[in-house]
Structure 1
Amino acid sequence: MHTPSLKQYAVVVAGGSGSRMQATQPKQFLPIAGQPVLMHTLRKFQAYDPGMQLVVVLPEAEISTWQELCARHQFTLPHQVVAGGNSRFQSVKNGLAALAEEEDGLVAVHDGVRPFIDNDILTSAYATAAQSGAAVVAVSLKDSIRQVRGGTSKAVDRSAYRLVQTPQCFRLPLLRKAYAQPEIPLFTDDASVVERFGHKIVLVEGSFRNIKLTTPEDLILAEAFLLQEASGKGQD
């Protein structure tokens, strides 16, 4: 169930360069099933809540390209575009500034290149954030892991670790105050910013389908997932 008492928002950060994707264009614009990745991502939020206010954060130099892509693909899903900063921290801060007139609510910060988020995860993340203030989607590790120090390594208990995904959902006033802190290298995601501010993070179960498209192999998986969804066998 959606949380009726608090309005829900999403800040979708799409600042990738495509270097690890070995592509000539930013990875959020790469086509899967004929359309840019970012369009698939935004549609997942629209499917969850058609009236949700969506803020898309793009590198300033790429905004015109995105507008051209929207025109070419007749992509009319309502969203606001803002220019990102020199780091993810600055980009999220710019995205939050677009919600400056909103006093309260729940905001999900999501990677633009994670197009396989589903309704169940969004429902759980928003509901948990409504209760705890901070909900972060994560999954267990499937592989064994080793800790490396210097020239040696040792086995560690993988059950003690989680792989962090997005969305990361927060009460809007909390996230806004957390992002008023000075930026430090420790801030690798929104959870680290909020945790530094002194607020506890609650983990929400994610999905192994909720992949971040980073390397060429990920595009092959993405095409397979979309084919599965189109056949009615995948998750919405």
Structure 2
Amino acid sequence: MNNCAIIVAGGSGTRMGAPLPKQYLEIGGKPILMHTLSKFLKFSPKIDLILVLPSPDMDLWKSLCLQHEFTVKHTVISGGKTRFQSVKNGLAALGEDHDLVAIHDGVRPFVSVEVIKNSFIEAQKSGSAIAVAPLKDSLRKLRVHGGSHFQDRQQFRLVQTPQTFQVKKIKRAFQIDELPIFTDDATVYEHQGWEVSLISGNPENIKITTPEDLDYAEYLLSKQ
């Protein structure tokens, strides 16, 4: 199969409170985004990588690649105002020869190669593969008029990326106008009436959004 990955990195880093958007902050001596791209290359040296960035960040990314001598082959395209629009731009850049696409958050550098591999295997079989993780904490649902009630955490999963799809189906799904319910790519796919298939993610596959996440990311790197 001709596999590809769309890495979406359009965050502004507001919650991080840093001078740079979070995807460009360093862990282990290089930007988070470079770790993420390298992980997909580790999965397959033949994979086509498409990086979606805000248009104003293009020169910054080019200079960072030169500074860090980053040579992982990838294509950079401009994103949109929302994640939905950025993913749609990434999908438009895919060629007719692409069969499967993994859509992944640029600030999730700790996805395991095994999860990436399993996502492509499942998407080839069923059309989609969404990485998820079980909840560790207890869960309560708030009532509209106050109070709350218990929810069985075994009935819920935390959604991660990659979210991997057959290209023809996910392109068709993204032809619709954006809706508020589209919180990720799986909800866009599901809106077509197609059921999503879940696969086990890995617990370390955190989305780095806060200073505490950055500290934990340095810890995870130290253990590799």
The TM-score normalised by the length of structure 2 is: 0.98
Does the 8 Å contact 1:103/1:173 carry over to 2?
Answer: no
In structure 2, the residue matched to 1:3 is none
* Runs of 5+ unmatched residues, structure 2: none
Structure 1: unaligned runs, 5 residues or longer: 1-5, 230-236
1:218 aligns with 2:210: no
**Correspondent of 2:113 among 97, 100, 119:** 119
Shift in Å, 1:51: 1.4
2:103 aligned with 1:109: yes
- After superposition, residues 62-77 of structure 1 pair within 5 angstroms as 62-77=57-72
Check if 1:86 corresponds to 2:81.
Answer: yes
Contact residue 3 and residue 98 of structure 2 kept, 8 A = no
Partner amino acid, structure 2, of 1:181: I
Query: 2:133 maps to which residue?
Result: 139
Give the distance between the partners of 2:63 and 2:211, measured in 1 at CA: 24
From 195, 199, 202, give the equivalent of 1:200: 195
Q: Which amino acid aligns with 2:102?
A: A
Give the corresponding residue for 1:14: 9
Q: Does 1:191 align with 2:170?
A: no
Aligned to 1:33: 28
Answering whether residue 161 of structure 2 is matched by residue 166 of structure 1, we say: yes
User: How many Å apart are 1:149 and its aligned residue?
Assistant: 2.3
Q: How many residues align structurally?
A: 223
Question: Cα offset for 1:66?
Answer: 0.6
Distance 1:152 1:103 in 2: 53
Provide the C-alpha distance between the structure 2 equivalents of 1:180 and 1:39, rounded to a whole number of angstroms.
30
Q: Percent identity?
A: 49
Between the aligned partners of 1:66 and 1:103, the Cα distance in structure 2 is 28
- For residues 168 and 44 of structure 1, the distance between their equivalents in structure 2, rounded to whole angstroms, comes to 15
Q: Give me the whole-angstrom Cα distance separating, in 2, the residues matched to 1:65 and 1:152.
A: 48
Contact between 2:2 and 2:97, CA under 8 Å: does it hold in 1?
A: no
Deviation string 1:138-184 (CA, Å, 9 cap, x unpaired) is 00100001101232111111111000000000000001000001111
Give the distance between the partners of 2:154 and 2:220, measured in 1 at CA. 27
SS of the equivalent of 2:198 reads: strand
SS of the residue 2:223 aligns to: helix
The C-alpha deviation readout for 1:97-136, integer Å capped at 9, x for no partner, is: 111x324411000000000011110111100000000110
Amino acid at match of 1:156: Q
Distance 2:91 2:220 in 1: 31
Q: RMSD value over aligned CA atoms?
A: 0.8
* Contact map agreement 1:13 1:91 (CA 8 A) in 2: yes
Note closer, same or farther for the CA distance 1:73–1:104 as it changes in structure 2 (3 Å cut): closer
Deviates more, 1:20-29 or 1:187-196: 20-29
The answer to whether the 8 Å contact 2:135/2:157 transfers is: yes
Is 2:150 the partner of 1:155? yes
Which of residues 175, 193, 200 is equivalent to 2:170? 175
State the TM-score, normalized to the length of structure 1: 0.93
Partners of 1:136 and 1:191 within 8 A in 2: yes
Q: How far, CA to CA, are the matches of 1:104 and 1:66 in structure 2?
A: 26
